[in-house]
């Protein structure tokens, strides 16, 4: 079955520029045009074949960032490029943070550079579409491969685009003799680099633990210590979104048998999900319970929740409830599957319960360190 034609939507309030760009691009691409943001949204509402939107920043009424933000929220699979004559730092950072643009091109832009950006964006769109179309009769390995390649493509390209784009602006500023180079750019470059490093480390960690034929013996691990290390990387996002977090029943002497680095990683993935998919001003509660043979951690959030079909899907590696590549909630879809794999490898269990619109509860159960028996009953 042939795929529907992929269209590019050019949005600019300069009619002559719009006509010239359409004339040059139409020989190779299917192009639609709009003179303002409101007209662009109308086209997007009635035409389901738009794969890429290239929007100018300075337009009357709705500016380019607002347009691209609405596009991302309503049609997240459409790729986004900003084309603007405004080169100030606030515009660039807003385009990245709010519009989640793939590229930030400044006027006047060489046609070759614009064409190259369009080709890359359409390739990314096709890759996402093909990767998300996973047939029911495909093998588990083939499903995992497609999901992995689709997710990684986006999660690697996005921060790399930010690094390259902002670095190029800094380079131009330096070459122009500007001495007040923005530290905001440097901060975003560093953040994007850290995101890439974290992504690579998580994928390598997952690959190592599921493929290694041998594992170190579990040791007595402090529950309080693991939770502290797992929560720390999430504290900034927790504060930013005004999410409250409580730990009930915590005792310093509670310990389970596990490999410490693996357990911190599992808890970090669970808590990170509880933050990412929570609502603003939401809550995360962590309960700790121990009996004669085991220790259980109950991590509950007040977030979106999931239906049964979605829950089954997210337990597979590199899958998310929303299979569209450029989702509202970024991530590689590895959190629960990684935590589950770690639990099993540490002779434990991980159970997930979720109610749409109410939240998700994850229960991690492991052997108690000082228990006479080290086997958790299924």
Q: Which residues pair with 262 in a beta bridge?
A: none
How would DSSP label each residue in 328-339? SS-S-S-HHHHH
CA dist 191 and 290 (Å) reads 39
Q: Render the burial of 281-315: b for 16+ CB within 10 Å, e for the rest.
A: ebbbbbbbebeeebbbbbbbbbbbbbeeebbebbe
Mean pLDDT rounded to a whole number for the chain: 79
- Residue range(s) occupied by CATH 3.40.50.2300 in the chain: 7-207
Q: Which residue has the higher pLDDT, 368 or 331?
A: 368
Strand partners, 351: 363
Which phi and psi angles does 109 have, rounded to 5°?
Answer: -105, 135
34: nearest Cα among 49, 2, 56, 1: 56
Q: Which two tokens stand for residue 265?
A: 């990683």
How much is the pLDDT for 364? 95
Tens-digit pLDDT profile for residues 273-282: 899 889 999 9
Number of residues that this document lists for the chain? 378
52 Cβ contact list (under 8 Å, min separation 6): 6, 7, 8, 9, 78, 79, 80, 81, 118, 121, 122, 125
pTM passes above 0.95: no
For the domain spanning 7-207, the CATH number is: 3.40.50.2300
Q: pLDDT per residue over 100-158, tens digit each?
A: 777 778 777 888 888 988 988 888 787 666 655 545 555 555 555 555 655 566 666 67
Residue 304 contacts residue 357 (beta carbons within 8 Å): yes
Pairing outcome for strands 255-258 and 294-301: unpaired
Q: Is residue 329 over pLDDT 50? A: no
Question: Cβ(339)–Cβ(274) under 8 Å?
Answer: no
**Contact indicator for 109, 85 with CB cutoff of 8 Å:** no
Question: What number of other Cβ atoms are within 10 A of residue 116's Cβ?
Answer: 12
Which tens digit of pLDDT belongs to each residue from 222-243? Answer: 999 999 999 998 998 999 999 9
Average pLDDT over residues 240-253: 83
Q: CATH 3.30.565.10 residue ranges in the chain?
A: 215-367
For residue 11, give the 3-state DSSP assignment: strand
CA pair distance 167, 160, nearest whole angstrom: 10
Where residue 76 falls among pLDDT bands split at 50, 70, 90? confident
Give buried/exposed letters for 209-229 (b at 16+ CB in 10 A, else e). beeeeeeeebeebbbeebbeb
* CATH architecture of the domain formed by 215-367: 2-Layer Sandwich (3.30)
Confidence of residue 58 (pLDDT cuts 50, 70, 90): confident
For range 301-306, the mean pLDDT: 89
Split at pLDDT 50, 70, 90, the class of 44 is very high
Q: How confident is the model at residue 7 (pLDDT cuts 50, 70, 90)?
A: very high
């Amino acid at each position: 079955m042939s795929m529907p034609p992929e269209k590019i939507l050019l949005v600019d309030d300069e009619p002559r520029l719009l006509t010239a760009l359409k004339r040059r691009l139409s020989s190779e691409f299917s192009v639609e045009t709009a003179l303002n943001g409101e007209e662009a949204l109308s086209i997007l509402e009635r035409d389901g074949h738009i794969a890429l939107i290239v929007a100018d920043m300075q337009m009357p009424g709705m500016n380019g960032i607002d347009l691209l933000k609405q596009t991302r929220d309503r049609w997240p699979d459409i790729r986004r490029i900003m084309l603007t004559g405004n080169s100030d730092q606030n515009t660039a950072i807003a385009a990245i943070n709010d519009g989640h643009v793939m590229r930030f091109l400044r006027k006047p832009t060489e046609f070759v550079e614009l064409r190259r950006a369009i080709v890359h964006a359409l390739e990314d769109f096709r890759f996402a579409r093909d990767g998300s179309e996973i047939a029911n009769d495909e093998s588990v390995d083939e499903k995992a491969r497609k999901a992995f390649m689709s997710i990684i493509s986006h999660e690697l390209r996005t921060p790399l685009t930010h690094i390259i784009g902002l670095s190029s602006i800094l380079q131009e500023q330096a070459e122009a003799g500007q001495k007040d180079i923005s530290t905001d750019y440097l901060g975003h470059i560093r953040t994007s680099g850290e995101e890439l490093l974290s992504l690579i480390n998580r994928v390598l960690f997952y690959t190592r633990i599921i493929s290694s034929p041998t594992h170190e013996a579990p040791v007595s691990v402090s529950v309080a210590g693991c939770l502290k290390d797992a929560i720390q990387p999430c504290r900034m996002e927790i504060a930013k979104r005004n999410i409250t977090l409580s730990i009930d029943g915590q005792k310093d002497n509670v310990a389970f048998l596990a490999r410490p680095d693996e357990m911190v990683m599992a808890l970090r993935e669970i808590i990170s999900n509880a933050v990412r998919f929570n609502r603003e001003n939401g809550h995360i509660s962590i309960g700790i319970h121990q009996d004669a043979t085991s220790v259980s951690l109950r991590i509950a959030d007040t977030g979106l929740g999931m239906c049964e079909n979605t829950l089954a899907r997210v337990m597979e590696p590199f899958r998310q409830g929303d299979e569209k590549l450029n989702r509202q909630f970024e991530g590689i879809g590895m959190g629960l599957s990684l935590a589950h794999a770690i639990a099993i490898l540490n002779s434990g269990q991980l159970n997930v319960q979720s109610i749409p619109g109410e939240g998700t509860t994850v229960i991690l159960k492991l052997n108690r360190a000082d228990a006479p028996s080290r086997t958790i009953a299924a």
